[in-house]
Structure 1
Amino acid sequence: MNTVPAVNKSQDGPFTLATLMAVLFDPIEEILFLVLTPFNGAGDERFKFEIQTNDLTNSGYNVIQMCSGTNERNLIGKVKCKSGPCVGWVHSFTVTDNFVIVPEMPMKYHLESMLSGDLLQWHQDAKAFMHIVCKETGETVASVEVPQFMTFHFINAYEEKDEATSKPISVIVDCCEYNSSVAIMERILLQELRSFFGEDSLPDSRVGRFTVPLNGSPRETLDIVVPSKEHGRGIDMCNINPKYKGKEYRYAYGCAVECPCHFLNSLTKIDLKEKSVKKWYSEGSIPSEPFFIGHSGAKAEDDGVVISIVSDKDGHGFAIVLDGSTFTEVARAKLPYALPYDLKRRLKVFKEDVEVIVQNVKGIKDECIEHLERAVES
């Protein structure tokens, strides 16, 4: 691992776009791609798991563990793709207490297509799999065929255990799934987003659940947890109470749809137990990925607030705070600058804006301020 000193560092602070530092990784072995979205564990564990594709002709993944606060990288294990020579595309993945879940979709990196300018291809005849890798040993303990699926983001995963032995017997894996269709890849192109004429053009998506057995069963099904009509037939960019990452949970918070639309334009709270939905919507506004922050001493999973940075229809924006239980608006802070949309909002919020929010939300612990300042910084 090598750290390159700052290049052209300015004394004016972080707003100059000057390069402050470059970090060079010593590769465990030669790689071609990294998963875009690493996984941050819950609580004090705070590990990042990165899956790397290392060879397009001998396709598979390296499962890498990175400890928070360091650049140290440890190889946990390797997974070989099972549905052909082209490696499956992975945008995100999830982790339980004991396992890393490695998804394999029919969307694949394709060498010939790459040479002609297309990085990815959907292989209609390819199978899909869920691979379960043991954190401790690096062994792939299950590779189960599942129905074809298309997803950007996984919501959470957790283990079901035998009541007598407390040993894991299956892994539950939830994701935002686009009905095994790649239409969403075309609909989010810039020219498509600019061509909205008041009709619904956003492909349907749903909360899909895989139950992956650890008993050697070769196949499993994909179940729909919440009817799509409940959240407007569109759902993505979900987060949960971080204390429940990798554990059995009930609530998810994400971006949803208020029709007619051609993009995710509302926020939603999904109750996976009651199969019900609560929504927040402001006409003409586009919210970013929501984050949940629990109250101090919270006992209920949804005891806290949900925060999102919203692009308003007038070109400006605001930070919105919703009650985690009722999903009603608690406070908002208007931002004194134009706000371009960003899926995963990472914009600097002025300190006075943060203070406005915190003053209006009683009972939020101090980490609310810390989270706002950290989560929306560039």
Structure 2
Amino acid sequence: MGRTAELGLRALHDEIALDDLPVSGELPGWLTGSLLRTGPAVWEIGGDRLRHWFDGLAMLHRFAFSDGRVSYANKFLDSEAYRAARHKGRLTSREFATDPCRSIFQRVQSLFSTTATTDNGNVNIGVLGDRFLAMTESALPVEFDRRTLKAAGVAYQAPGQLSTAHPHRDRATGAMLNYAAKLGAKSSYRFFRVDAETARPEVVASIPVREPAYMHSFGLTEHWFVLAEFPLVVNPAGLALSGRPFIENYRWKPERGTRITLIDRETGKVGGTFAADPLFAFHHVNSHEDGDEVVVDVCAFDDAQVIKDLYLDRLHGLMRDSAGADALQAAHLTRFRLSPGDSSVITERLSEEPLEFPRINTGRCQERPYRYVWGNGQGSGWFDRILKVDIADGTAIAWSEPDCFPAEPVFVPHPEGVEEDEGVLLSIVLDAKRETSYLLVLDAATLEQIARAEVPHHIPHHFHGGFTSKS
């Protein structure tokens, strides 16, 4: 029986900096820059045990490449949530599925104030001009130094209590584009841009809503914001007074179906609404315009059961269950084809291979037609392979090794590349047998190993990050 992925839920407390990791194989000479990652590293604070994978205190990781060598450093994100937890020896901020005991007044303040939400940026790395941000689903991204990983405080406040950690970059201006939910007596969805120089957010569209849906990401085309409301919704009036953690106030209402709205990026006006079957997704893959139609691709689940799967008590059990009797819910590449002329929707599955944590050749293909998606495939208990899916025919190739659990693969294009898949994939792989992790470098076209760099400790299961050519 193989070793399980459960090691990835073991806390990592040590912070280190190493100038030269042991490398097997040969790193490409053109690969210069840094892979920056964030994710949860600790799920216990004093006597408090956090409840969900999404709740852990954030740790940053940096792999820097130069002249065929790679260095590594990791550091806890020095957020207000982290400092308060260390100082008081307990959780003080409201996280995804863990909420500290507070008075009704404190709950109301936490709900209706952007400054009372967590700044525990454990989901993704954002780029705003020359700034690097650790982001979560709150209104408070934290800026940090890409070399030292030292935090520099909150970069801006989103115009709402909830936001996404999956912003887009405006090709024309370099501004950051993102979504926020403003909760209150009159709730609304808000799309906003953040200027790369001033870091000031500006609302460009506001859509009223009675029961806001939980949305982890959104789509973008050349002319449209794509708002996909899956039927996991909340009543804002009861959110502050329920006494339940944030996500446990949301209710699955499949009778609502999936609602997709196109919002004009320039005018902020609604350009069309569409109704599809009930689905749930964390991640948009890509969206683009195809003549008069709009194509929206997501990694879709049948329902929102996956959120319950990722509570730590259940997740430990899933990871131990090598027979797969109680498997982690799987997502599939799913396409919505929207026809604004008659408001019709065609929904189709692009591949039968389960896939999550999708990545594309962003610089070349974002908002445009594309062919390849890379991501993580899964066994019964956890993500145990890297996949490349050809959406033209749904076929896939895979990389995997026994007792190894790779994180999201990040595509880095060859600087002189011609083909869409010409470049490398960078992934952090947890080796459960050796109880350490390593950086894996794959040929993005073939998924053949090029090199790996060994880290002297394990890196817990984490979420997202990106590559910057700045070393």
How high is the TM-score relative to the length of structure 1?
0.77
Which residue does 2:272 correspond to in 1?
Answer: 142
The alignment partner of 1:193 has SS state of helix
1:168-207 equivalent positions in 2, closer than 5 A: 169-179=292-302, 181-195=303-317, 196-200=320-324, 201-207=327-333
Partner of residue 226, structure 2 = 101
Separation in structure 2 between the aligned mates of residue 17 and residue 55 of structure 1, nearest angstrom: 27
- Residue 165 of structure 2 aligns to which amino acid in structure 1? L
Contact 2:155/2:199 (CA < 8 Å) preserved in 1? Answer: no
Is 1:318 aligned to 2:449, yes or no? Answer: no
Cα distance change of structure 1 residues 36 and 18 upon mapping to structure 2, 3 Å threshold:
closer
Partner residue, 1:60 = 188
User: 1:75 maps to which residue?
Assistant: 203
Cα distance in 1 between the residues matched to 2:232 and 2:400: 32
Tell whether 2:364 aligns with 1:238. no
Cα 1:60–1:17 shift into 2, 3 Å: closer
Match of 2:376 in 1: 255
CA distance in 2 between counterparts of 1:330 and 1:24 reads: 37
Tell me, yes or no, if the aligned pair for 1:303 and 1:325 is still in contact at 8 Å: yes
Gaps in structure 1 of 5+ consecutive residues: 1-12, 162-168, 347-367, 374-378
How many angstroms apart in 1 are the aligned matches of 2:402 and 2:439?
Answer: 16
- Which residue pairs with 2:336 in the alignment? 210
Structure 2 partner of 1:165: none
**In the alignment, what sits opposite 1:21?**
152
Q: 1:23 to 1:339 in 2, by over 3 A?
A: closer
Distance 1:123 1:113, change over 3 A: farther
Query: Do the aligned partners of residues 27 and 272 (structure 1) sit closer, same or farther apart at CA in structure 2, a change above 3 Å counting?
Result: closer
Question: Quick check: 2:175–2:196 contact (8 Å CA) kept in 1?
Answer: yes
**Residue deviations 1:299-327 (CA, integer Å, cap 9, x gap):** 11011111111111132111111111112
SS at match of 1:191: helix
Output one character per residue of 1:175-208: Cα deviation in whole Å (capped at 9) or x when no partner.
Answer: 00012x1221111111122112213211132110
- Matches of 1:66 and 1:170, distance apart in 2: 28
CA distance in 1, matches of 2:439, 2:77: 24
Q: Quote the offset at 1:49 in angstroms.
A: 1.9
Q: Secondary structure at the match of 1:157?
A: strand
What is the root-mean-square deviation in Å for CA atoms of aligned residues?
2.4
Post-superposition offset of 1:159:
0.5
Aligned-pair CA distance for 1:278:
0.7
Match of 1:50 in 2: 178
Q: CA deviation at 1:332?
A: 1.0
SS of equivalent residue, structure 1 residue 224: strand
Cα deviation for residue 266 of structure 1 reads 0.9
Length, aligned pairs only: 317
Higher RCO (Cα < 8 Å, 6 or more apart): 2
Change (3 A) 1:198 1:146: same
Q: Against the structure 1 CA distance between its residues 241 and 197, is the aligned structure 2 distance closer, same or farther, given a 3 Å change threshold? A: same
Task: Summarize the Cα distance change of 1:304–1:54 in structure 2 as closer, same or farther, 3 Å threshold.
Answer: same
CA contact (8 A) 2:336 2:348 kept: yes
Deviations 1:33-80 (A, max 9, x none): 2223322356x7543222111135534301101234541212111223
Partner residue of 1:116 out of 224, 232, 243: 243
Q: CA 1:120/1:69 → structure 2, altered by over 3 Å: closer, same or farther?
A: farther
Aligned match for 1:270, one of 365, 371, 389: 389
Q: 2:421, 2:409 → 1: CA distance?
A: 14
Q: 1:79 to 1:337 in 2, by over 3 A?
A: same
Letter paired with 2:329: P
Q: Which residue of 2 aligns with 1:300?
A: 419
Q: Unaligned stretches of 5+ in structure 2?
A: 1-72, 80-150
SS in 2 for 1:125: helix
Aligned equivalents of 1:370, 1:113: Cα separation in 2 = 42
Letter in 1 for 2:435: G
Determine if contact 2:164/2:215 at 8 Å carries over to the other structure: yes
1:151 to 281, 285, 295: 281
**Range 121-130 or range 270-279, more displaced:** 121-130
Q: Decide whether the 8 Å contact of 2:321 with 2:381 is kept in 1.
A: no
Identity %: 19
- Going from structure 1 to structure 2, the CA distance change for 1:127 and 1:60 (only over 3 Å counts) comes to farther
The answer (yes or no) to whether the contact 1:61–1:79 under 8 Å persists in 2 is yes
Partners of 2:339 and 2:195 in 1: how far apart? 29
Instruction: Give, as a single letter, the amino acid of the residue that structure 2 aligns with 1:139.
Output: K
- Cα 1:87–1:299, aligned 2, differ >3 Å: closer, same or farther? same
Question: Structure 2 length normalisation: TM-score?
Answer: 0.63
Distance in 2 of aligned mates of 1:194 and 1:135: 43
**Which digits, 9 at most, give the CA deviation of each residue in 1:118-174, with x for residues without a partner?**
23211132232111111121111111112111000010001012xxxxxxx111000
Deviation at 1:369, TM superposition (A): 7.4
**1:189, 1:34 → 2: CA distance?**
22
- Gap change, CA 1:69 and 1:238, over 3 Å in 2: farther
Distance 1:46 1:207 in 2: 29
Paired with 1:203 and 1:244, the residues of 2 have a C-alpha distance of 29
For 1:146 and 1:14, the matched residues in 2 are separated by 43
In 1, Cα distance between the equivalents of 2:161 and 2:216?
Answer: 15
Give the structure 1 partner of residue 62 of structure 2.
Answer: none
CA distance in structure 2 between the partners assigned to 1:283 and 1:370 by the alignment: 32
Q: Work out which of the residue numbers 290, 299, 317 in structure 2 matches 1:160.
A: 290
Match of 2:161 in 1: 32
- Paired residues of 2:442 and 2:448 also in contact (CA < 8 A): yes
Aligned partners of 2:157 and 2:192: how far apart in 1?
A: 13
